[in-house]
Amino acid sequence: MRFALGALLWISLSVAAAEAPLRFVVPDSWAMPMVQLERGRVTQGILFDVMLSLATQVGVPAEFHVLPRARVQGAMEHGEVDVRCYAAQSWLPNQSGDYIWSIPLWFQRDMLISRQDPLPSVVPANLSRQAVGTVLGYSYPTLQPLFDTDRLHREDARNQEQVLEKLHAGRYRYAVSNQWTLDWFNQRLLPDKQLKGVAVLQEQSVGCYMRNDPKVPVQRILRTLLRMKMSGEIDDIIRLYIGSAPGAP
């Protein structure tokens, strides 16, 4: 009997060890505090910590595939990766394939950012014709009518951090950033030099989605993400990087 139990345990452990890794896709346009990319590898960040903890708790290795943003959805559709985190269904109106979405895990606030604007708030539609710092490949629904009519025009950078660096250097007067990246960037600046938000452009909840494939442990992933959110683990990871409670509606 003891031998049979030992053999069963060995088989169970062998199956777990042989289970395929969970393949996460990471757009190369992400920057800290979301992820730190060094020579094409993910080394730290809010989303890195969450995804690594998720895979560990699910009981499988984690793989991170860094791809150009334009290739991310195609990689999901072709089964090259399994999970994409920090996404919203509204960002993917033409999504094809069979996917399962998690509960909302984060709250994203996109803001119009200025260096030291004398006005406490700004109405984008009232701005004079000028360049606005943006990320290549990102859509900005609130500003798109102004781009379409040439009232404002985009000056794209590869990632969000580069956008804020250009704003801080005076390349343009305004840029678009999410709240996380703004808070992270301001940590390195003296209070009187910090960038500030002058208009909220969009607010929405984001989560993860995964391929609905028998090879992907979908239900274990969903249960684990729910537990991580309800226990406060995800919010604690956010505080670790930006030193404050995560944004909420």
* pLDDT value of residue 201: 96
**Cβ pair 103, 180 in contact under 8 A:** no
Spatial CA neighbour of 133 closest among 102, 110, 101: 110
**Would you say residue 216 has pLDDT above 70?**
yes
Pick the CATH number of 20-107+204-242 from 1.10.10.10, 3.40.190.10, 3.30.390.50, 3.40.50.2020: 3.40.190.10
* 28 three-state secondary structure: coil
Return the SS3 of 222.
Answer: helix
pLDDT higher than threshold 60 for residue 4 = no
The 10s digit of each residue's pLDDT in 100-118 is 999 999 999 999 999 976 6
β-pairing verdict for 174-178 and 106-114: antiparallel
Output the pLDDT for position 1. 43
Count of alpha carbons within 13 Å of 126, Cβ hemisphere only?
A: 6
Residue of 152, 141, 139, 160 whose CA lies nearest to 70: 139
- Whether residue 249 is predicted with pLDDT greater than 70 in this model: the reply is no
Provide the token pair at 180. 């996380």
Domain 109-203 has CATH 3.30.70.270: no
Phi, psi for residue 127 in degrees, rounded to 5: -70, 150
Residue 2 pLDDT exceeds 70: no
Distance CA 86, CA 91 (A): 11
Cα(108)–Cα(106) distance, rounded to whole angstroms? 7
Per-residue pLDDT tens over the stretch 197-211: 999 999 999 999 999
Domain with CATH 3.40.190.10 in the chain: 20-107+204-242, 109-203
Kindly report the pTM of this predicted structure: 0.86
Give, in degrees to the nearest 5, the angle at Cα 11 between 6 and 16: 125
CA 216: distance to chain centroid?
21
Q: What's the mean per-residue pLDDT of the chain?
A: 89
Indicate the helix (H) or strand (E) that contains 114: strand 106-114
